[in-house]
Chains A and B, each alone.
Chain A
Amino acid sequence: MNRETLLEARNIAKHFGGVRALHAVSLFILRGEIYGLIGPNGAGKTTFFNVLTGLYTADGGSFLLDGAPMKISAPHEVAAQGIARTFQNIRLFANMTALENVMVGRHLRTGAGVIGAVLRDRATRDEESAIAQRAHELLHYVGIHRHSNVLARNLSYGDQRRLEIARALATEPKLLALDEPAAGMNATETAELRKLIETLRSDGVTILLIEHDVKLVMGLCDRVAVLDYGEKIAEGAPAEVRRDAKVVEAYLGGAIA
């Protein structure tokens, strides 16, 4: 396969006081693949995510996006460079409608300022209707268009996840980072989510997936990395990783005799 690298992480390190949350983690994500990041609780998955998306500052290492070093100083700049994320504990704008949530996602790729907003000139009106149009399309895409005008907090759990994904897609990301999207979902919802992620892949979206649901990860991901105590202990196709002795040990707490 001659796929190019989209994101490369080099020796990412992060510690909180004496706790080494991440220790020299290096990995690369190919364009168009679904890359899974798994590991037991506290392995450093979410820390890696937060470093990548600018919520934490790394204590070492660097990221390259499309071969160019990323400037990670603030979350909004990371989003501008093309990485969008969702949160493990869903973070929506609860008192805005589903449509408005996605419209906020377009903020980054639009430019109307105060004067445009007040005068509502031609350019601003066109931009506004383009924002609304795109938001409607994305709601269709993730399958919750019938709830466009429902406040985000009144959506069902599964629909909130979808809305968060639609909002992330609205920023036109090169890489979509999903932090435990199946957490708290029942089997039906997980199956539907899986379908959505597969659709995303077939439409060429590159995805970084953190997940606890091993079945989901193994079924979806092209490649998987396993973190344990802040270190990458294995990487490769799901089937290989699954047989890796270190991985079994990390998950089951010791080799099986």
Chain B
Amino acid sequence: MRHKQSAWLATALIGIALAVLPFVVGLGIGNAWVRVLDFALLYVMLALGLNIVVGMAGLLDLGYIAFYAVGAYLYALLSSPQFGLHWPVWAVLPLGALVAGLFGAVLGAPTLRLRGDYLAIVTLGFGEIVRIFLNNLNSPINITNGPQGISQIDPVRIAGVPLSRPLEVFGHTLPAVYLYYYLFVLLALLIVFITVRLEDSRIGRAWVAIREDEIAAKACGINTRNIKLLAFAMGASFGGVAGGLFAGFQEFVSPESFSLMESIMVLCMVVLGGMGHIPGVILGALLLAVLPEALRYGAVPIQQALFGRVLLDPESLRMLLFGVALIAVMLYRPAGLWPEARRKREFLGARTK
């Protein structure tokens, strides 16, 4: 009973914190940072999706960003002047999840027999194939507008209200980045909820069993083919949702947003945070999405103050520090910053009380 109460209290506190966060950040250090927060939330969704594939099922996927691209382009094609279609967001986002999930299963199917390095290389190839397709599908029929990308994408509209314009609420003006923030928080929470539920279920156990020992999993009667495809599809569908939101938020997509570097970024979030551990993965995503931005803003003034001139431009400094951070984490916390604790769950005990 007391446990339940404290759980409610924690939920309420987290809810309040998430609700006031954009105000604290926006009023404290500027609305540009709320935008950074918005992107961080997209990365949380991506990292949670990839966590299903890499963290739980143990399938190293280096082409994950392809599903982000599929979701983004689907949104772009269905609600922009490109084809003159203006589908509503409540139709496009679920469709994006579905189509990306389908892509996940289709791209996953040929890799079922592969493991480790081989799987990584093939998925890397698939990721690039998707990007190159998007880059070149402007002839003979122009579908994706090639490297120029698709612009003038409709912003996300909720009940007819576009989130791209400031909204007047109780005499207070909420900028667009705040509105998107709330939408992204809600969807990120939904994805957290789904992954938490899946983790502690028959399906989640089957994923982990495959990660731990595939042959033993088969001998236990797990249809590893289907369960792996399900992992690919579930992970990809989260990527698809995040991609759709990205397209609506940016109002512009182009193939260069979906490079291999992005896949590696998301993978780093999962690995640095703590593979297979949901809070760790969220932490990893937030850190890796926010810290580079902090560096971008802070690198120049700090260097000028210290050395009187700029020695390293922020972009190369970013990669340098990123590499150092990666090596440091792998040396000192090889299981990630916030790895899974030894789980001591009393399944029956908790349920019969």
A residues near B (Cβ < 8 Å) are: 53-55, 74-76, 79-80, 84-85, 87, 91-97, 99-100, 103-108, 110-114, 116-118, 120, 124, 127-129, 131-133, 135-136, 149, 151, 167-168, 170-171
A129 to B343, CA, bound (A): 18
Question: Are A108 and B220 in contact, CB atoms less than 8 angstroms apart?
Answer: yes
Question: Are B218 and A93 in contact, CB atoms less than 8 angstroms apart?
Answer: no
* Among A114, A116, A127, A132, contact of B234 (Cβ-Cβ < 8 Å): A114
A120 to B206, CA, bound (A): 17
Question: Are B344 and A104 in contact, CB atoms less than 8 angstroms apart?
Answer: no
Question: Are B221 and A94 in contact, CB atoms less than 8 angstroms apart?
Answer: no
Residue on B nearest A124 in the bound complex, by CB: B201
Question: Are A76 and B222 in contact, CB atoms less than 8 angstroms apart?
Answer: yes
Central interface residue in A74, A76, A105, A106, by most chain B CB within 10 Å: A76
Q: Is B204 an interface residue (CB 8 A)?
A: yes
In the complex where A103-B205, A117-B203, A151-B342 touch, is A75 in contact with B197 (Cβ < 8 A)? no
Question: Are A118 and B198 in contact, CB atoms less than 8 angstroms apart?
Answer: yes
Question: Are B216 and A132 in contact, CB atoms less than 8 angstroms apart?
Answer: no
Give the distance to chain A from B58, nearest Cβ to Cβ, in Å: 10
Central interface residue in B197, B201, B224, by most chain A CB within 10 Å: B201
Residue on A nearest B206 in the bound complex, by CB: A107
Interface size, B (range): 20 to 34
B residues near A (Cβ < 8 Å) are: 193-194, 197-198, 201-206, 208-209, 212-213, 215-224, 230, 234, 342-348, 351
Interface pairs (21), CB distance under 8 Å: A55-B215, A76-B220, A76-B223, A76-B224, A79-B220, A84-B219, A85-B219, A91-B219, A94-B212, A95-B208, A95-B212, A96-B205, A97-B344, A97-B345, A103-B205, A105-B220, A108-B220, A110-B202, A114-B230, A168-B219, A170-B220
Question: Are B218 and A75 in contact, CB atoms less than 8 angstroms apart?
Answer: yes
Give the distance to chain B from A194, nearest Cβ to Cβ, in Å: 23
A91 to B219, CA, bound (A): 10
Residue on A nearest B199 in the bound complex, by CB: A117
* Among B198, B220, B347, B348, contact of A117 (Cβ-Cβ < 8 Å): B198
Residue on B nearest A177 in the bound complex, by CB: B219
Question: Are A128 and B201 in contact, CB atoms less than 8 angstroms apart?
Answer: yes
Question: Are A94 and B213 in contact, CB atoms less than 8 angstroms apart?
Answer: yes
* Among B197, B206, B342, B345, contact of A104 (Cβ-Cβ < 8 Å): B206
Question: Are B219 and A132 in contact, CB atoms less than 8 angstroms apart?
Answer: no
A76-B222, A105-B220, A107-B206 given; name 8 further pairs at CB < 8 Å.
A74-B218, A76-B220, A76-B221, A79-B220, A97-B344, A107-B209, A136-B348, A168-B220
Question: Are A104 and B205 in contact, CB atoms less than 8 angstroms apart?
Answer: yes
Question: Are B202 and A117 in contact, CB atoms less than 8 angstroms apart?
Answer: yes
A149 to B202, CA, bound (A): 18
Residue on A nearest B196 in the bound complex, by CB: A118
A112 to B224, CA, bound (A): 16
Within 8 Å CB of A132, what residues of B? 347-348, 351
Question: Are A107 and B221 in contact, CB atoms less than 8 angstroms apart?
Answer: yes
Question: Are A104 and B218 in contact, CB atoms less than 8 angstroms apart?
Answer: no
A136 to B347, CA, bound (A): 10
Residue on A nearest B227 in the bound complex, by CB: A107
Within 8 Å CB of A85, what residues of B? 219
Within 8 Å CB of A107, what residues of B? 202, 205-206, 209, 220-222
Within 8 Å CB of B205, what residues of A? 96, 100, 103-104, 107
Question: Are A104 and B219 in contact, CB atoms less than 8 angstroms apart?
Answer: no
Give the distance to chain B from A101, nearest Cβ to Cβ, in Å: 8
In the complex where A93-B208, A117-B202 touch, is A108 in contact with B216 (Cβ < 8 A)? no
Residue on B nearest A87 in the bound complex, by CB: B216
A80 to B223, CA, bound (A): 10
Q: Which 7 pairs show the lowest CB-CB distances between chains A and B?
A: A108-B221, A117-B201, A79-B221, A93-B212, A75-B218, A91-B216, A132-B347
* Among A97, A103, A113, A149, contact of B203 (Cβ-Cβ < 8 Å): A113
* Among B198, B217, B230, B347, contact of A99 (Cβ-Cβ < 8 Å): B347
